[in-house]
Amino acid sequence: MQKYDELTEFLLRMGDSALVQAQRLCEWTGKAPALEEELALMNVGLDLVGQARNWLDYAAERIGDGHDADSLAYRRDERHFRNLLMVEQPNGDFAVTMLKQFFFDAWQYPMLTQLSKAKDERVAAIATKSLKEVTYHLRRSSEWVERLGDGTEESHQRMVKAIDALWRFSYEFVELSTQEQSLSEAHTIGDISSVATKWQAMVNDVFARATLTVPDAAQPFYLASRDGVHSEHLGFLLAEMQYLQRAHPNASW
């Protein structure tokens, strides 16, 4: 499997994760539990597509073989996607969707905070812009986790089930690859070594307020999105997302 240089791989991880998370949010159109949530889900999704475009544009420039953000988004297959396993999981009910969002936001927030101090100016600029948006996303998703966890008996049970379904994918939020460690040590992307503890602290805090139990730390298993080894869900997500570009490869839209 082809790998790009460390920084490019990292940019793909950021871009692909935002893109796939946004794609899942798009699936909610017209189906949210309240009008205000239609607006909010689309708003968050919109921010994330914008972020994905910025990360992928930069990755494409570094790859430099004629790719642009669109060709990276629409012409790579699942073995080349670097998104976190968590964000490709199906939406399930609103509890699953909001928990996924919260896990992702609680990862993005400390990550972007550090990236905004990166030596690489482009990384710093994208992160600074994204951080404003993610601050809002995190506030919203953590409030929903609290509302649902400490709401009714039913909503609490649904959150417990959502945690059962999703927790095993959380190891990717706390594990840095050796490549990421070296980028971090060189401060190319800022010091991201504290992201794992910050993620865990945020989860502990919000779960406590939501009367939810934090499971033991999840362990790595067969799936590894940095190597493009995804769950079976991603292939379908990409088939839907990419079909027009694949069906009309020479078209301009």
Q: Does 66 bind another protein (CB under 8 A)?
A: no
Q: Does 75 bind another protein (CB under 8 A)?
A: no
Structural Rg of the chain based on CA atoms: 18
Is the CB of 90 or the CB of 224 nearer to another protein? Answer: 90
**DSSP codes joined into one string, 79-142:** GG----HHHHS---SHHHHHHHHHHHHHHHHHHHHHHTT-SSHHHHHHHHHHHHHHHHHHHHHH
User: In the set 3, 9, 61, 74, which binds another protein (CB under 8 A)?
Assistant: 74
Tokens of 120: 């690489």
Give, for 174, the enclosing helix (H) or strand (E): helix 171-174
Cα distance between residue 91 and residue 171, in whole Å:
19
One character per residue 87-126, x = contact with another protein (rule: CB under 8 A)? ------xx--------------------------------
Cα distance between residue 192 and residue 185, in whole Å:
9
Is the CB of 218 or the CB of 241 nearer to another protein? Answer: 241
Number of residues that bind another protein (CB under 8 A): 49
Tokens of 208: 């406590």
User: In the set 53, 140, 226, 230, which binds another protein (CB under 8 A)?
Assistant: 53
User: In the set 150, 160, 177, 224, which binds another protein (CB under 8 A)?
Assistant: 150
User: In the set 76, 151, 191, 224, which binds another protein (CB under 8 A)?
Assistant: 151
Q: Does 252 bind another protein (CB under 8 A)?
A: yes
DSSP-based three-state secondary structure for 236: helix
User: In the set 13, 140, 158, 230, which binds another protein (CB under 8 A)?
Assistant: 158
Is the CB of 48 or the CB of 111 nearer to another protein? Answer: 48
Please report the sign of the dihedral spanned by the C-alpha atoms of residue 215, residue 221, residue 223, residue 225: positive
Tokens of 241: 């997302």
Instruction: Return the residues of window 8-47 that contact another protein according to CB under 8 A.
Output: 19, 23, 26-27, 29-39, 42-43, 45-46
Pseudo-torsion of CA 89, 136, 210, 39, nearest 10°? -70
Is the CB of 118 or the CB of 212 nearer to another protein? Answer: 212
Is the CB of 3 or the CB of 151 nearer to another protein? Answer: 151
Give, for 10, the enclosing helix (H) or strand (E): helix 6-26
Q: Which residues bind another protein (CB under 8 A)?
A: 19, 23, 26-27, 29-39, 42-43, 45-46, 49-50, 52-53, 56, 69-70, 73-74, 93-94, 146-148, 150-152, 154-155, 158, 240-241, 243-245, 248, 250-253
